[in-house]
Amino acid sequence: MDTTKCGTPAGYMQHRRRKQKVCGPCRVARRAYENQRNRSLGMPARPAAVCGTTSGYQRHRRNGETPCGECKEARAIDQRKRRGGQAFKPAECGTDGGYRRHLRQGERACGPCLKAHSEGGKPRRYWRQLWHAQGGICALCDQPVPHDAKAIHVDHIVPQSDEGDHHLSNLQVVHAQCNLVKWKRDNETARQLLLGQAA
């Protein structure tokens, strides 16, 4: 990269255009330029974000810094308030989220989490349960579905775009190809299309 512009507002824009992380000198130069421009336009100066607040936490993140302990605590309090005082529910074991939780906590992932992660990391919490409930048969073409995470799609019977919820009663196991044919159609229309393709 041409570093002749680093430390200037033009260098800042060059980083952004190239989708690169902005270096410290360019960030400082851009901030100084914006402050000068705002003063010349008569805009009031914005107070700097203070540590120990959620805006302080955001400032750390914007500047590519690790937030300090006070800012992390302020954000945690704010997050608890937003959730209505309810504790954050950690990801369940046997999911890709559970695998990531183990890694964040610096511990070795359990067997079910390793298995979920190795199956492509797809959030398919219920696919095994649905597969067994349907007898391993595709809900659209009535053909056997291999017990393999890559071959199975978990489909919404009533699409989420049509107000369908993400509840077990609204989910079905289908072949990946059948799901592509179904798209936003209802099951009957998709079945007719699949039968037409097979004929």
Contact 14, 5 (CB under 8 A): yes
Q: What is the pTM of this model?
A: 0.39
122 falls in which pLDDT band (50, 70, 90)? very low
Say yes or no to pLDDT of 74 above 90. Answer: yes
The pLDDT value given to residue 110 = 92
Structure tokens at 102: 């183990």
Contact 172, 178 (CB under 8 A): no
* Domain range list for the chain: 3-82, 90-122, 124-198
Paired strand residues for 171: 156
Mean pLDDT of 67-79: 91
Q: Tokens 């690790």 identify what position?
A: 66
Question: Is the domain covering 124-198 a CATH 1.10.30.50 domain?
Answer: yes
For residue 168, give the nearest of 155, 181, 185 by alpha carbon.
Answer: 155
Gyration radius of the chain's alpha carbons: 26
Which residue type, as a one-letter code, is found at position 101?
A: R
First to last CA, the chain: 59
Does an H or E element contain 117, and which? helix 111-118
% of the chain residues with pLDDT over 90: 8
The pLDDT value given to residue 75 = 92
Say yes or no to pLDDT of 161 above 80. Answer: no
Q: Tokens 């989708």 identify what position?
A: 19
Mean pLDDT of 49-69: 87
Q: What is the pLDDT of residues 2-55, one digit of tens each?
A: 656 888 989 989 988 988 888 888 988 988 898 888 888 888 777 778 889 999
Does an H or E element contain 60, and which? helix 54-62
The pLDDT value given to residue 124 = 53
94 falls in which pLDDT band (50, 70, 90)? confident
119 falls in which pLDDT band (50, 70, 90)? low
